[in-house]
Amino acid sequence: MSPTTTPPPDATVNDGATTTGISSLPTHILQSHVLTRLDGQTLASATCASTSLAAGHHHHHLWSTICHSTWPSIAGHRRLTELISNFSDDKNGPRFFFSHSFPLPTPDPTAVPPPPQNHPPPSPVPELISAVDIYYRNKPILTKIEETDTTTDWFRCSPFRIDLLDLKDVVRIQLPLSPPDDGDSVDRCTAAMMDDMTLSWILINPINKRAVNLSSHKPVSVHRHWLSHEIQVRFGSILGGGGSGGGGGGGVVVECGIVVNCRRSEDGEMEVGEVMMEVEDMDGKHLNGKDSLVILQRVMEGKRGNGVKREEEARRRYRRYEEMKRERRERKSRVEGTLDILFLIFGLLIFIGLLFILLLKQFL
């Protein structure tokens, strides 16, 4: 007789089949010792793949902890913490907040430009909340909450811009920076910024309880300004503008740019002196607050990606956007060149006509 096989303690037997795995673990073990070790993206993927982990998918405290560890700026802000807790009607606001604030907006407007929006713009909101976290080499160097009043005429009519730091505020970075004439040091510094600096800028609509992360997470470009010698680290997102008839202005595609200006301090180290957000169209024109707010509200209401390779995707969109801008400039240059030639020919024809009339009068 063959020996009897006894299933291991963590196995379950269904219809004669023995299965082992994470699904056989007790619920309290999963909740306390497994799910708490996962980051938000991994937890979301795991709970979608396994029904036995679905209990953690709806765990309010677990997702709240993940949001606070991912974005420290919201951890110590009581109003924002309460707002995020009520972001969703299913009593798991932190999970809803994470799913909207971690991935990039979709679809990609550089691949499939959105059609012009003919429906009325969304109702304006009286306030926008910015939750910003900047890291250098995985260490936080700046976490801040900024509240922006959107009801004033100054905001609506002036170019849209959110400044995170006052003129006298600076943030130090432990990175030596040689004088501007040291080209090798500048190259090393820009390379370090491209690889080691990350930024998250979550824009929150507190009325409709919507949020979107408008940062590319890692820089899309780093360069040194030719006049001020500041190192400009650029983040941002490429967004659908809705066309000129959609109430959003700015054409079909716009850029929400986030610029971090770094400079050399007196002791030779780097410091952050300016962090700002702006919205501009493909012609380089800065949109005003009214038009920018329409675009940002529609992005908040839109869909999100899955968060996979978001840095590479953001940089790819930015490169494509720069190509679109270059192609647009070349088209405009060709059109303007053609018009210049036509005006020149038209002027010559008028001159020749007047000269012919004068000569004709002399002979007559």
pLDDT at 167: 75
pLDDT at 76: 79
| Residue 2 structure tokens | 């063959």
Single-letter amino acid, residue 193: M
pLDDT at 227: 79
Burial of 116 (0-12, 13-18, 19+ CB in 10 A): middle
What are the angstrom distances between the C-alpha of 313 and each of 108, 305, 318, 355? 9, 10, 9, 62
Counting as low any pLDDT under 50, the low residues of the chain are: 1-19, 244-247
| Residue 314 structure tokens | 């953001």
Here the contacts of 142-151 (C-beta below 8 Å, separation 24 or greater) are 142/171, 142/272, 142/275, 143/71, 143/72, 143/73, 144/73, 145/73, 145/74, 145/77, 145/80, 150/124, 150/125, 150/126, 150/289, 150/293, 151/124, 151/126
| pTM of full prediction above 0.75 | yes
CB 238 within 8 A of CB 322: no
Closest CA to 199 of 219, 217, 173, 214: 217
Q: Which residues 6+ apart lie within 8 Å of 104 measured at CB? A: 213, 237, 304, 305, 307, 310, 313, 314, 317
pLDDT at 348: 92
| Apex 210 CA angle, 151 and 75, nearest 5 | 95
| Residue 280 structure tokens | 């501009």
Q: 149 by DSSP, 3-state: which?
A: strand
For residue range 112-128, list pLDDT tens digits in order: 766 666 666 677 789 99
Q: 208 by DSSP, 3-state: which?
A: coil
| Residue 266 structure tokens | 């007196």
| Residue 227 structure tokens | 């006049």
- The count of other CB atoms within 10 Å of the CB of residue 248 is 28
b/e per residue 273-287 (b: at least 16 CB within 10 A): bbbebbbbbbeeeeb
- Name beta bridge partners: 256: 237, 279
Which sequence spans correspond to the domains of the chain? 24-101, 105-327
